């Protein structure tokens, strides 16, 4: 069974918009495009290179696809050599406009298509960027592994990784963590079942506490 693996850059307040440059995604007047640049170091580069070190297919939302398709076919570095020949699965309402080689539209039912693709033989599906798509997959419990690189800055308004409570409640298991020389926290998570709950409350609550609970309704 193929895995869906997400990797994403976020600010401490959860913004993931336009990490790579000022012209990447200035939607809604976002003015901090390129916010990862000055925090990049050998450790963060190694994490990303590791993601691309084994065979993969790309899983992309349409906005990220357009950004990538206008850039990577014209590059010749190691990432370009991995991205360009890879199969790309794209969430789009405009399938006829997919011009990057080996691109395939997921069709009108993205969730059903990905459930089918996951059952097929082939490399894991790697999500880059694609915030709206990530939220759809989180809501349908389709992401098997997520690497989140949290950068030490606050961006305020912007597109967020966990927007509008879109994620299905799930416990997670931390499989790896590190802190880069510039303070970027890298954490990789896998699903770990339902959310466990407990209570620190007294087994014999006071009358005031019982009254507080009655006032909930």
First to last CA, the chain: 46
Which DSSP state fits 176? E
Kindly report the backbone phi and psi dihedral angles of residue 5, in degrees, each rounded to the nearest multiple of 5, phi listed first.
-120, 125
| Cα 185 from Cα 204, distance rounded (Å) | 41
- 3-class DSSP state for residue 187? strand
Which DSSP state fits 64? H
Relative orientation angle of helices 110-119 and 131-139, to the nearest 10 degrees: 80
Question: Are 126 and 7 a contacting pair, CB within 8 Å?
Answer: yes
| Cα 23 from Cα 12, distance rounded (Å) | 22
- Tell me whether strands 88-91 and 103-105 are parallel, antiparallel or unpaired: parallel
**What pLDDT digit, counting tens, does each position of 95-134 carry?**
999 999 999 999 999 999 999 999 999 999 999 988 889 9
Predicted confidence band at 55 (pLDDT cuts at 50, 70, 90)? very high
pTM of the model: 0.90
pLDDT of residue 164: 77
**What pLDDT digit, counting tens, does each position of 157-200 carry?**
999 998 877 788 999 999 999 999 999 999 999 999 999 999 99
Question: Are 17 and 36 a contacting pair, CB within 8 Å?
Answer: no
pLDDT of residue 131: 87
How many percent of the chain have pLDDT more than 90? 83
Query: Is 4-214 CATH 3.40.430.10?
Result: yes
């Amino acid at each position: 069974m193929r895995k869906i693996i997400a990797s994403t850059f976020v600010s401490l307040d959860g913004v993931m918009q336009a990490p790579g440059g000022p012209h990447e995604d200035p939607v809604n007047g976002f003015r901090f495009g390129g916010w990862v640049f000055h925090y990049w170091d050998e450790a963060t580069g190694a994490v990303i290179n590791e993601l691309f070190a084994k065979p993969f297919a790309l899983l992309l939302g349409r906005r990220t696809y357009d950004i990538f398709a206008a850039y990577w076919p014209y590059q010749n570095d190691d990432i370009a050599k991995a991205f360009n020949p890879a199969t790309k699965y794209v969430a789009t309402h405009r399938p006829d406009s997919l011009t990057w080689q080996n691109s395939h539209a997921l069709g009108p039912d993205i969730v059903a298509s990905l459930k089918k693709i996951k059952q097929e033989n082939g490399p894991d599906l790697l999500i880059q960027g694609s915030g709206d798509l990530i939220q759809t997959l989180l809501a349908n419990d389709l992401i098997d592994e997520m690497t989140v690189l949290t950068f030490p800055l606050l961006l305020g308004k912007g597109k967020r990784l966990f927007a509008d409570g879109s994620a299905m409640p799930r416990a997670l298991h931390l499989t790896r963590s590190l802190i880069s020389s510039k303070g970027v926290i890298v954490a990789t998570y896998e699903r770990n079942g339902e959310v466990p709950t407990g209570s620190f409350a007294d087994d014999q609550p006071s009358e005031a506490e019982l009254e507080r609970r009655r006032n909930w309704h």
